[in-house]
Amino acid sequence: MTDWTATRDEGEARLAAFVPRMGRRYANGRNTDHGPGAHKAVSVLSPYIRRRLVLESEAVAAALAAHGPEDAEKFVQEVIWRGYFKGWLERRPQVWDSYRAGLEGDLAALDRDRRLRRDVDRAVNGQTGLDCFDAWATELVETGYLHNHARMWFASIWIFTLGLPWRLGADFFHRHLLDGDAASNTLGWRWVAGLHTRGKPYPADAQNIATFTAGRFTPRPGDLAEVTQGLEATEPDGLPPVQPLRGFTLPQRGRPTALLITDEDCRVEDFDLAALDIRTVATLAASHLRSPLSVSDPVQRFEAEALADAAARVGLVAEALRADDPAGLARWAAKAGAAQIVTPYITRGPLQDWRDQAGPSLARAGIAFCEWRRDWDAAIWPHATAGFFKVRQNIPGILQEVLPG
C-alpha cells in the first residue's frame, strides 16, 4: 500500500528523487502499469501537484534542467495536460454543471434500479470476474492511486464492457483518487467515452492491456466489448461554446483581510502576504463536496494533512473550517472584522459551486471575495479552447512566459 505524507517537504523530496527519471526513462516506460508498489516509471507526484504542494513550474523546470527540452518533452507535456484540462473546463463551465446534474439523475436511478445497483456494487468492489478490472478497483480503494493507463482501461471497461453510466464511474474515481479534481477527472472520463474528442472513444484492448501491464493481466479478446462508437449520441447538441475566463477580484493592500487556505493551492506563502492586514486565517476542508456519496477516508486525511502543513508554513494560527453552511464563510470573516477574504484561485468544481452559494451572504456582509491566479494558469488557459494540440504547439511560448530565465 502506498504510504502518503501530505506535506510540501515530502512532495519536494519525491520530486527530487524522480528527476533522474524524467527524461528518456519516463518517455519509454510511462505507459506500463506495473501495479501497486511498483509505479517507478511514473512520478506519482499528482496528489502533490493537485494541491500545489509541488508546483507544475517546479516539476517542469527540474525536468528541463536535467534532461533538456527534447528528452524531457513527454514529461513536460503530461504536466501541462492537467493545466489544459483545468483551462478547458474554465472555458466551458456548462460541462461541469451538466456532469453534476447528470450524476444526480444517475444516483436516483441507482436507488430505483436493483439490477443497476448490483452491477455497480460488483464493479466498485472488484467482483466482476474480470481480473484486470477487479485489481484496479481494489488498488484504487486501497491506495488512492491508479496509473494513468489503468484509469483509461478501467473507464473504457466500465462504460463499454460493463455498460454502466459513465458519471457513476467518474464519481467513484473522484471519491477515491488522492489527486482527483473536477477537470482532470470529469474530462478524462468524457475523453474515454468519446464526448471530449467527439466520436473518438478509447477502447480497452486485450493485447494492449497484456503488453502494458508487462503480462500481469492477459484478458481474452472476447472479455472486452468491441468499441465502435462512443456516447456522443447522448449529447446531440455537441459541446457548448467556449466562454470567456471568469473574472475575479484581486486583493487590496492594507484592507482588513481573512486569509482562506483550501486544497486548491497549499502554497499561499508564495503570494504577497506581507501586503495584507491579516486579521484571521482558516483552513477549509472541502473534499467531502466531491460527491453526494461518501468520499474516502484517505482522500479526507490527505486533505487535512495538506491544509495543516500549509497553515504551519504561513506561521499564523489557523482556524479549521468545514465547507458546510455557505453562510458560515461570511460569519467567520465578519467576526474578525475583515473586509475581504483572500485565497488562491478556485477552479471550476465542487468548491467553486459552494463558494457561489456563499456569495449572497458575503454581499450582504459587505465582504469581498478576492483571489490570486498563478502565472502558470494564466499562460495555459487562454489556449485551452479545443483539443490539446493547440496547447502543445504553444508550449515553447508558455514555458518562456512562466519559467525564470
For residues 300 and 50, what is the distance between their CA atoms, to the nearest angstrom? 14
pLDDT at 221: 76
Architecture in CATH for domain 94-234:
Orthogonal Bundle (1.10)
Q: Is 342 helix (H, G, I), strand (E, B) or coil?
A: strand
> 371 - beta bridge partners?
343
Which residues touch 341 (CB under 8 Å, ≥6 apart)?
257, 258, 259, 260, 329, 333, 362, 367, 368, 369, 370
Closest of 50, 46, 58, 74 to residue 16, by C-alpha: 58
Enter the C-alpha cell of residue 310.
500549509
Distance of CA 184 to the CA centre of its chain: 5
> Which own/partner pairs from 349-352 qualify as long-range (CB within 8 Å, at least 24 positions apart)?
349/89, 349/96, 349/181, 349/182, 349/183, 350/182, 350/286, 350/289, 350/290, 351/262, 351/264, 351/284, 351/286, 351/289, 351/323
pLDDT at 405: 67
Q: How far is CA 131 from CA 126, 169, 210, 219, in A?
A: 8, 18, 12, 8
pLDDT at 110: 97
Which residues touch 229 (CB under 8 Å, ≥6 apart)?
194, 199, 201
Dihedral (Cα; 215, 216, 222, 227), 10-degree rounding: -90
For residues 347 and 90, what is the distance between their CA atoms, to the nearest angstrom? 7
11 within 8 A of 59, measured Cβ to Cβ: no
Closest of 38, 25, 30 to residue 66, by C-alpha: 25
For residues 63 and 183, what is the distance between their CA atoms, to the nearest angstrom? 24
348 within 8 A of 183, measured Cβ to Cβ: yes
Domains of the chain: which residue ranges?
Answer: 8-90+380-402, 94-234, 256-373
For residues 353 and 351, what is the distance between their CA atoms, to the nearest angstrom? 5
Query: Parallel, antiparallel, or unpaired for β 277-285 and 256-261?
Result: parallel
pLDDT at 1: 43
143 within 8 A of 47, measured Cβ to Cβ: no
* pTM of the shown model: 0.96
For residues 47 and 287, what is the distance between their CA atoms, to the nearest angstrom? 13
For the domain bounded by 8-90+380-402, which CATH number is listed?
1.25.40
Q: Is 341 helix (H, G, I), strand (E, B) or coil?
A: strand
For residues 279 and 98, what is the distance between their CA atoms, to the nearest angstrom? 39
pLDDT at 2: 59
Looking at CATH, the fold of the domain delimited by 256-373 is given as Rossmann fold (3.40.50)
pLDDT digit of tens for each residue in the chain (405 aa)? 458 999 999 999 999 999 999 999 999 999 999 999 999 999 999 999 999 999 999 999 999 999 999 999 999 999 999 999 999 999 999 999 999 999 999 999 999 999 999 999 999 999 999 999 999 999 999 999 999 999 999 999 999 999 999 999 999 999 999 999 999 999 999 999 999 998 899 999 999 999 999 999 999 878 999 999 999 999 888 899 999 999 999 999 999 999 999 999 999 999 999 999 999 999 999 999 999 999 999 999 999 999 999 999 999 999 999 999 999 999 999 999 999 999 999 999 999 999 999 999 999 999 999 999 999 999 999 999 999 999 999 999 999 999 976
For residues 27 and 272, what is the distance between their CA atoms, to the nearest angstrom? 37
For residues 375 and 378, what is the distance between their CA atoms, to the nearest angstrom? 5
Q: Which amino acid is at 48?
A: Y
Cα atoms found within 13 Å of the Cα of residue 239, Cβ hemisphere only? 20
Phi-psi group of 381: left, alpha or beta (phi > 0 → left; psi -120 to 50 → alpha; rest → beta):
alpha
Q: How far is CA 2 from CA 12, 35, 37, 94, 197, in A?
A: 17, 11, 6, 36, 33
For residues 173 and 20, what is the distance between their CA atoms, to the nearest angstrom? 30
For residues 11 and 363, what is the distance between their CA atoms, to the nearest angstrom? 38
